[in-house]
Amino acid sequence: MDLFTRSYDKDWNRIVYLKVLENQEACFHLKDDQTCKLILFLEGNSTITYNNQTAFITAPSVLCLNHLDTVEFDNNPACKITVLFFRPIALNDQLEYSIFHRSYYQKMVGTTLFQDLTLLSSFYDINNSKRELILLDAVSAVSLTQLLNKINKELIEQKDGYWPCRSRSYFIELLFFLEGLRCNESLQNISIVLEKNRNDIVHNIVRYLNQNIDKKITLEHLEKTFACNRNQINKEFQKELNTTVMKYFTQMRMQLASILLRDTEIPILDVALRVGYSDAGYFSKAFKSYCGISPSEYRDSFYSTISPA
């Protein structure tokens, strides 16, 4: 089986280097050395060997492996898994495997290519960032499952000529979500960083915001959800992150919006909906306030022409 998706239209012959498989079918291809793998453990537990080390995995959790990592399950894995096989060029055509080397990273700092590269920090040792195993809470597991299902739906249905772009946009959203899960160490693509000795209320709210980045979240909603008044919430955020909670959430949303505008061609309204804005005009105003230019101007600065997918 090819671990990529080819368009059903033979005249187009478009290839997207994303493939979602489950359980035994996925296990059969885990030794492939041409793809990175996101392994989502949904139920049960298993003993695996990866990079010549033995580990006991308990669901829900996610294992992030690059193309050089090796992984092997025990003979009868008692777990339910979903695996996303991908190549970094699914994110950016310039992300060939040859550039994934420490000697290249510093040369790329400050470029848009490096910004895309850091989205793969869970898979590659970029600035000592790699963490292969991430333990999940139930809500995060559901969120990852939903994103994988959205990717898979686009790859299977291919309902119009924009399916490659939409599948990539969900892939970017998934990578961004993974970076949020790594907030115990840092939020790689967010300029605000959480310290290791984090404040629990701040950590819990940041995790909640990451899980609900496409929802309409208000300060009143956070007060009710976390049984904490707004003054205390903002006081804790000011102490830990030197900003208010809603300013932090806006920054998180605008960071994801920037990536979707730069690396995909999905309509601006779709970008707005992905980051919790139902009104394109209001989103454009918020984006311009954050970036200094409108979403369309930001996108045009990276693309001289717009073409399907």
Identify the weakest region by mean pLDDT among 23-27, 175-179, 302-306: 302-306
Per-residue pLDDT for 129 more than 60? yes
26 near 65, Cβ under 8 Å? no
295 near 287, Cβ under 8 Å? yes
Per-residue pLDDT for 139 more than 90? no
The model's confidence at residue 191, banded by pLDDT at 50, 70 and 90, is: very low
pLDDT, tens digit, 9 for 90 and up, residues 81-104: 999 999 999 999 999 998 888 777
Mean pLDDT within 214-243: 92
pLDDT, tens digit, 9 for 90 and up, residues 259-294: 999 888 899 999 999 999 999 999 999 999 999 999
The model's confidence at residue 197, banded by pLDDT at 50, 70 and 90, is: very low
284 near 291, Cβ under 8 Å? no
Residues 6+ apart with CB under 8 A from 259: 115, 116, 119, 172, 176, 189
Mean pLDDT within 54-78: 84
- More confident: 291 or 10: 291
Per-residue pLDDT for 188 more than 50? no
Global pTM exceeds 0.85? no
Where helices occur in 158-267 by DSSP H, the ranges are 163-181, 200-211, 219-226, 230-241, 245-263
pLDDT, tens digit, 9 for 90 and up, residues 22-51: 998 998 999 999 999 999 999 888 888 888
The model's confidence at residue 130, banded by pLDDT at 50, 70 and 90, is: low
Residue ranges of domains in the chain, CATH in brackets: 5-181 (2.60.120.280), 200-300 (1.10.10.60)
Identify the weakest region by mean pLDDT among 162-166, 199-203, 301-305: 301-305
Look up residue 125 and give its amino acid: D
Alpha carbons 133 and 51: distance in angstroms, whole number? 13
| Cis amide leading into 60 (omega within 30) | yes
